[in-house]
Amino acid sequence: MKLAMIGFVCLLPMMAQDVKIPASIEKLADKASEVVDVTLDASLLQLAAKFLPANDPDTAQVKRLVSGLKGVYVRSFQFDKPGEYQASDVESIRSQLRGPNWARIVGVRKLKSGEHSEVYLRTEGGSITGLAVIAAEPKELTIVNINGPIRPEDLQELGGHFGIPKLDGESGRKNDSGKKDE
Amino acid sequence: MDDFERQLMQAMSRTDPPGAFEAKVLARVAREADGRSGLWRWFSRPVTLRWASVALALVMVATGVTWQRERERERGEQALAKLELALKITSEKLQKIDREIPK
């Protein structure tokens, strides 16, 4: 019993780790016409933050945000024709986001166009420790996983700087009302 | 004393060098010393050699540090570009999702 407890305690940090990008998703790069593959672990993020000018007010906020992050992972695939990826590929990601710390805050499904987008937040001890976005369209699939304290509002505040498009209106706000499927 | 011992003693007996031997040796030493350039002679001095080794080591360390910094700068800039792209994509997707939520 004690051994099991020790094992569980040792496994806790691993359980709080990033969402794993399955091999089936990585293999989509072979079929895609355009691929964005960003993998930035904590050490690379710290290195990137070092090269942000500290005295520039535009980038100071980015620096502050980035310094708290542990990992940024983005996979975005654009395909020439629909049907290049399977629902099971997306499900392999989605199933990882059903963990106890993750909560889906937004879900938008458009039956006509076949688009299905979801935003998940991971909370631990009352604070946000991760953000995941799944944006599935017939000819495009984007998966974002940001490990660390980041809120959609943080990105909204960064709008207009650092290559991030300026968000209009109330964009980026946290939608606690949650699952809104069309 | 047999014949062998006599021959041995004769062979081992001290003989003076030819008269010009010393002059020949000194002349050769002088010739060789003149053959070396002034720079080589300066460089061959133990003190110079020591300082040259220290200087070489310093140059090697400085080169290594510069190379390492340059490499880190390249990695940092690449990471920054990737971060910018990742945040841009995330922001665009969030914005799109937000637009699609029925108000």
- pLDDT tens digits, residue range A66-85? 888 999 999 999 999 999 99
Split at pLDDT 50, 70, 90, the class of A10 is: very low
Residue A42: predicted pLDDT: 93
- pLDDT > 70 fraction of chain B, expressed in percent and rounded: 89
Q: Which of B87, B97, B49 is nearest to A106 (CA)?
A: B97
Q: Give mean pLDDT, residues B68-84.
A: 92
User: Are A172 and B82 within 8 A, CB to CB?
Assistant: no
Split at pLDDT 50, 70, 90, the class of A53 is: confident
Q: How far is A50 from chain B (nearest CA, A)?
A: 8
pLDDT at A9 over 50: no
Amino acid at A68: G
**Residue extents of the structural domains in chain B:** 19-100
Q: A101-105, B41-45, B79-83, B90-94 — which is least confidently predicted? A: B41-45
Flag whether the ipTM exceeds 0.90: no
Q: Give mean pLDDT, residues A137-163.
A: 82
User: Are B89 and A144 within 8 A, CB to CB?
Assistant: yes
Which of A66, A144, A182 faces B83 most closely, judged by CB atoms? A66
Q: How far is A118 from chain B (nearest CA, A)?
A: 8
Beta strands in chain A (DSSP E): 34-41, 71-78, 102-110, 115-124, 127-137, 140-147
Q: Give mean pLDDT, residues B83-101.
A: 89
Q: Give mean pLDDT, residues A39-65.
A: 85
Residue A174: predicted pLDDT: 39
